[in-house]
Amino acid sequence: MSSTPDNDVPDPAVRTYLRTHRARFLDDLTHWLRIPSVSADPDRAGDLRRSANWLVAALRETGFPVAEVWSTPGAPAVYAEWPSGEPDALTVLVYGHHDVQPADRADGWDTDPFEPVARDGRLYARGAADDKGQVFLHTLGLRAHLTATGRTAPAVNVKLLIEGEEESGSPHFAELIAARAERLACDTVIVSDTGMWSPDTPTVCTGMRGLVDGQLDLYGPDQDIHSGSFGGAVPNPATEAARLVAALHDEDRRVAVPGFYDGVAEPTDQERALLAELPFDEAGWLRTAASHATLGERGHTTLERIWTRPTFEVNGIHGGYGGPGGKTVVPATAQLKFSFRLVAGQDPARVQRLVGDWVAERLPAGIRHELVFWGAGTRPCLTPLDHPGLRSLVRAMGRAFGRPVRFTREGGSGPAADLQDVLGVPVLFLGISVPSDGWHSVNEKVELDLLLKGVETAAYLWGELAADRRDGRW
């Protein structure tokens, strides 16, 4: 189901509307971007509230009959809804965030990160792409949808949930959506906090990996001891840490923890073929990775490895003497920091249990261990390629971009999976950011043409979804 359908023509009424309202839209976005809503900085709590209130006002002006601030123990989220009024209409929840990463001119920005500058077809500011620009595109998209269709309310029930702590790990998000699950009830979630392959290759992401990470501390002798007097006759925690790490992958570089792959959804032939359609430049990718060769699970391409396969990585390994010269000891302690990326079919709690059992079984007497996981882990999410919502999104994007739409996945992990699990619906990703946009880095920007293509995609999406519902596709 790759590529664009036949009747993929753009709507001239939408295009005209976007042309005449583009300047005002960018002006409004610029105002929002000036609010330094940095969730990591406790001194910015007031700015987070200001940002949330600003968005509520903007959504009311857009026409949302309901737009409100939802407070959390941390930074506030924003919720809005606009019922369609049609019986039996689909309900779609848009997810994004209004907080941003820290940014300081002194980090190397060419201009003030909180004083947006439009230059060479780009808008430079912290949050331009991640994520205020991609949230705000829905306001103009919705207006264009209404004007072009002559409607007074959207063709589907639209809900928006814009959180304020995404850049700080969404510590209260799962709790928030569980507590508000009834109001958030929907048929699908549209996440607008991702990107696409490149300016010339529009793509739709179909899944994200999950995450289990933690730390393992190993304790041997009560203190560092003489390696001549005692070494070779007592267990060495640094050696045991290395043995564990070495045993974690088999000869094919698959994770060797028994049961780890149980239930893993293997990429289908169709998915592998679709991934192979992407214009992937491995040498360029390696440069971005600052690495000198690819290496991973045997039998899979690089894109399959980072998107469709679970992995284990050592994030840090420490133990014993690290100062200048030598020191002949058996160290008292060693430490591993590690992460597993998970794919659909894997459950973080089960992986934690399997890893815990595996570690406990392999350590010899005389090594005490403490294994800590950072929270409950993040679940993977994956939307099947034949899901009707995906079809609607691909059609909308194809009409806006006038190019075939391809499919990607995301190797990282995020709160989208919470939405999938708590609300029990599939997650679709509408993102127009490109890899050069500088997320979390200096000189973050958004490409204005792509931002407007995102607006146009959003303008078509509601009608496409309603048509698929009407035609009985879901």
Whether 98 contacts 38, CB under 8 Å = no
Q: How far is the CB of 130 from Zn ion (least distance, A)?
A: 4
Nearer to Zn ion, 127 or 210 (CB): 127
**Length of the chain in residues, anyone?**
474
Rounded CA separation 157/152 (Å) = 12
Binding track, positions 169-198, relative to Zn ion; x by CB under 5 A: ------------------------x-----
Q: How far is the CB of 255 from Zn ion (least distance, A)?
A: 29
Burial class (CB in 10 A: 0-12, 13-18, 19+), 165: buried
Q: How far is the CB of 448 from Zn ion (least distance, A)?
A: 19
* Span interacting with Zn ion, options 128-136, 178-186, 389-397, 419-427, rule CB under 5 A: 128-136
Residue 109, CA distances (Å) to 35, 48, 118, 141, 202 in order: 17, 22, 14, 31, 28
Whether 44 contacts 104, CB under 8 Å = no
Query: How far, in whole angstroms, is CA 78 from its chain's centroid?
Result: 19
Nearer to Zn ion, 193 or 213 (CB): 193
Binders of Zn ion among residues 129 to 168 (CB under 5 A) are 130-131
Nearer to Zn ion, 17 or 124 (CB): 124
Whether 57 contacts 76, CB under 8 Å = no
Nearer to Zn ion, 130 or 165 (CB): 130
* Span interacting with Zn ion, options 122-130, 282-290, 342-350, 402-410, rule CB under 5 A: 122-130
The shares of helix, strand and coil residues in the chain, as percent rounded to the nearest 5, are 35, 20, 40
Q: What is the DSSP string of 307-347?
A: HTS-EEEEEEEEES--SSS---EE-SEEEEEEEEEE-TT--
Q: Is 11 in the site for Zn ion (CB under 5 A)?
A: no
* Span interacting with Zn ion, options 67-75, 127-135, 172-180, 298-306, rule CB under 5 A: 127-135
Size of the site for Zn ion (CB under 5 A): 3
Q: How far is the CB of 129 from Zn ion (least distance, A)?
A: 8
Q: How far is the CB of 97 from Zn ion (least distance, A)?
A: 6
* Span interacting with Zn ion, options 6-14, 86-94, 124-132, 354-362, rule CB under 5 A: 124-132
Whether 76 contacts 54, CB under 8 Å = no
Q: How far is the CB of 407 from Zn ion (least distance, A)?
A: 21
Q: How far is the CB of 100 from Zn ion (least distance, A)?
A: 8
* Span interacting with Zn ion, options 49-57, 126-134, 456-464, 466-474, rule CB under 5 A: 126-134
Rounded CA separation 325/331 (Å) = 16
- What count of Cα atoms within 13 Å lies in the side-chain half-sphere of residue 329? 20
Nearest one of 314, 318, 316 to 237, comparing CA atoms: 318
Both structure tokens of 362: 């392999």
Q: How far is the CB of 191 from Zn ion (least distance, A)?
A: 10
Binding track, positions 315-354, relative to Zn ion; x by CB under 5 A: ----------------------------------------
Chain residues in the site for Zn ion (CB under 5 A): 130-131, 193
